Amino acid sequence: MERLHVVAKPRATSTKSQLRQLRRDGYVPGVVYGRNSEPVNITVDSKDIVAILNTPTGINTLVDLEVDGSKTLAIIKELQRDILVPDRFISVDFMRVSLRDKLEVQVPVVLMGEAAGVKEGGVLQQLLREVTLKCLPTSIPEQLELDISELAVGESLTVADLTIPEDSEMITDAEDIVVTVTAPRLELEEEAVEEEEAPEEAAADAGVAEETQE
């Protein structure tokens, strides 16, 4: 599994204006915590965050975080983005980890193949795009693949259908639906329109009948 070396600077408690200035200068305020050690406020170059996210494992990438010459193995636990500027980061939390201890991570689910139900006109809906997995840091998968090629209209696949590494534990509920194929929307909409038009036509016919009687 890929590991990146990131150098962070210790950071004193900053005011809001100082934090805004840090972000304008291309840095991300953050903290590193965990493993029975005191939290340390840090500042990380935003380019290093981008480099982490661009690896195959993305946010789950192991990081050799160096602060004041001292290195610790860590992983991004939380990353807050600017809602108005997605490529700008507001803050980052690193959690210290051990290669011998399992941790919980979010792993993306990728659908493979084309569902048989879609070929028949059904609509594919992916309800779950990532799951929570507990595993060793060195065993974090890049993604979990799910074959949907035999999925017919009206059928679903759940978390239980996912294949995970042998030394891993699924935390997400096994009964949660990952993907389903629903009946064609167009046909359902046409049926609904026909049902709505029928009373209107009946009312119109009744009106014509009354005019005829008059």
Task: Specify the CATH superfamily of domain 105-183.
Answer: Ribosomal protein L25, C-terminal domain (2.170.120.20)
Report residue 9 as tokens: 């600077």
- Note the pLDDT of residue 199: 58
Which residue, among 62, 43, 23, 32, has the nearest Cα to 142 in the 3D structure?
A: 62
Per-residue pLDDT of the chain (214 residues; tens, 9 = 90+): 779 999 999 988 778 888 989 998 999 999 999 988 899 999 999 999 999 999 999 999 999 999 999 999 999 999 999 888 877 899 999 999 999 999 999 999 999 999 999 999 999 999 999 999 999 999 999 999 999 999 999 999 999 999 999 899 999 999 999 999 998 865 545 555 566 655 555 555 555 445 545 5
Strands 62-67 and 3-10: parallel
- Note the pLDDT of residue 211: 52
Instruction: Report the alpha-carbon distance of residue 120 to residue 153 in Å, rounded.
Output: 8
Where do you find CATH 2.40.240.10 in the chain? 3-97
What pTM does this model have?
0.77
Report residue 73 as tokens: 């193995």
Report residue 23 as tokens: 């972000």
DSSP state of 47: H
Where do you find CATH 2.170.120.20 in the chain? 105-183
Tally of CA atoms within 13 A in the half-sphere of 72 that contains its CB: 21
- Note the pLDDT of residue 87: 79
- Note the pLDDT of residue 86: 72
- Note the pLDDT of residue 88: 86
- Note the pLDDT of residue 65: 97
Q: Provide Rg for the chain, Cα atoms.
A: 27
Residue 156 makes CB contacts below 8 A (sequence gap 6+) with 177, 178, 179, 180, 181
CATH number among 2.60.40.10, 3.30.2320.30, 3.60.20.10, 2.40.240.10, domain 3-97: 2.40.240.10
